Amino acid sequence: MEVYLRPTPTIDFDSDIVQAFTRNNSRGNDPVTEQVISLYYAVRDLIRYDPYLPGEQRSDFAASRTLELMRGWCVPKSILYAACCRALGVPARLGYADVRNHLSTENLRRQMGTDIFYWHGYTDVYLNDKWVKATPVFNIELCERFRLKPLEFDGLEDSIYHPFDLDGRQHMEYLNFRGDYADLPFDEMNRDFAKYYPKFGTADDRGDFDREVVLETSA
């Protein structure tokens, strides 16, 4: 388990900003599961989901950088949550899957050229003698806008996306689980991004995700 407890260049829980965030958002003392759960909701809801943030450099994914911006998408938010867990002395690793996301904005679909999200990130946490998946990605306001059932986490069962939204429309389809990693597989992930999303980020302005969501859900 030691490899899942160490700081890394991206899971930099030894930084002051990650230490402070962990300390300020840990609720409950015994068992540590309560603190892990409270940190899940802090990462989910305090860090706004934004798929347009840069990811060309390894440093773009650091937990400390995500806290500086208070924004992130699935990969950096899951890294931040792993960092918080490791800061508590709880083993955590990074999990990845390829998913078909049926609900995204028109501009994001155009930029990506597909509805498949390769290397969708989540966090694997070791609690109560087993690994459980946690996905602290879509903040509560985004879920309400898109009529999604928010992902809850109790530390006992896997928390991964629901296949349907609150109105019965298709939401998330898991196509392939890539496995778990002690640290960000940056080079492998970026090679696939260049292959599958050749047009993403080539425009002068990738987009304002918050504004897109409001416009597309206000009709």
DSSP secondary structure letters along 23-35: HHT---SSSHHHH
Within 13 Å and on the Cβ side, how many CA atoms surround 52? 20
Model pLDDT, residue 219 = 62
Model pLDDT, residue 202 = 55
pLDDT at 173 over 70: yes
pLDDT at 204 over 60: no
- For the stretch 57-66, pLDDT in tens is 999 999 999 9
Nearest to 10 by CA among 182, 201, 136: 182
Structure tokens belonging to residue 49: 């989901």
Number of domains in the chain: 1
Model pLDDT, residue 205 = 57
Task: Name the more confident of 111 and 58.
Answer: 58
Q: What average pLDDT does the segment 59-85 reach? A: 97
CATH number of the structural domain spanning residue 23:
3.10.620
d(CA 7, CA 84): 11
SS3 content of the chain, % helix, strand, coil (to 5): 40, 20, 40
Could you tell me the residue range of the domain that residue 212 belongs to?
A: 2-217
Cis peptide before 31 (omega within 30 of 0): yes
pLDDT at 209 over 90: no
**Neighbouring residues of 141: CB distance < 8 A, sequence distance ≥ 6:** 48
- For the stretch 5-39, pLDDT in tens is 999 999 999 999 999 999 999 987 668 999 999 99
Q: What average pLDDT does the segment 203-215 reach? A: 77
Residue 63: its H or E element: helix 63-69
